[in-house]
Amino acid sequence: DGGITQSPKYLFRKEGQNVTLSCEQNLNHDAMYWYRQDPGQGLRLIYYSQIVNDFQKGDIAEGYSVSREKKESFPLTVTSAQKNPTAFYLCASSHKGDTEAFFGQGTRLTVV
Amino acid sequence: SQQGEEDPQALSIQEGENATMNCSYKTSINNLQWYRQNSGRGLVHLILIRSNEREKHSGRLRVTLDTSKKSSSLLITASRAADTASYFCATLLQSYQLTFGKGTKLSVIP
């Protein structure tokens, strides 16, 4: 089945630790996106990538890092520099960036 | 800052009624899209309207776009309890950033 997969669904992190969220797609899409969703604030763009080995900062990139070494994969690392990382993280992909986006089911990150 | 802003923030209607949600945005766009999110899940694409289009239909959905006013509306006709969800507009900027608003939470009462 074609789609976009995020893992894990739930993730717990201790303060001061880095953690990496996985996002994989087999839709052959060029563009991939990472969003953060907090209650009442909608989706905020963290990073996006139009092609392999290239990515751009979104509105709230501080404390996050990404890589795009393969077309299918766009992992997001939440670093210890992110002061309030507890949130719902959503990954999306689209063909060429100007068509509909397909979303994963999200990863809920909690700092304990 | 977020590009799109939906209005109202929350909407409660009876089953069978129509639901209208509005979206305003700030800068020039390539296209505008509407998405739906059930609680705790990923978003699902509903409809895309390009900047040179004024109206688009898909089943019970009707979307309009007014680029002079930088606004769009989503109409859901003959609503059903299963339409209960949050609805987001998303704008694709020239730089290919896809940015979302805060959403409208729709409750359809059976």
Beta-carbon separation of B92 and A48 below 8 A: no
What's the mean pLDDT when you consider all of chain A? 93
Omega within 30 of 0 (cis) for the link into A75: no
Q: Taking 90 as the threshold, does the pLDDT of residue B61 lie above it?
A: yes
Rounded to an integer, what is the distance from CA A33 to the centroid of its chain? Answer: 6
Longest CA pairwise span in chain B (Å): 43
Q: Taking 70 as the threshold, does the pLDDT of residue B92 lie above it?
A: yes
Average pLDDT over residues B15-36: 94
Is any Cβ of chain B less than 8 angstroms from the Cβ of A100? yes
Among chain B residues, the shortest Cα distance to A10 is held by B40
Average pLDDT over residues A46-54: 94
Q: How far apart are alpha carbons A29 and A32 in whole angstroms?
A: 8
pLDDT at B5: 83
Closest CA to A32 of A11, A6, A13: A6
> pLDDT band at residue B93, thresholds of 50, 70 and 90?
confident
Q: Taking 60 as the threshold, does the pLDDT of residue B79 lie above it?
A: yes
What is the strand order of the sheet A64-66 is part of? A4-7, A19-25, A76-78, A64-66
Beta-carbon separation of A92 and B98 below 8 A: yes
Report helix, strand or coil for B35: strand
Q: Taking 90 as the threshold, does the pLDDT of residue A1 lie above it?
A: no
Q: Which residues in chain B are contacts of A56 at CB distance < 8 A?
A: 95, 97
Q: Taking 70 as the threshold, does the pLDDT of residue B24 lie above it?
A: yes
Among chain A residues, the shortest Cα distance to B10 is held by A40
Buried-state track A68-96, b at ≥16 Cβ within 10 A, e below 16 = beebbebbbebeeebeebebbbbbbbbee
Q: A39 or B1: whose pLDDT is higher? A: A39
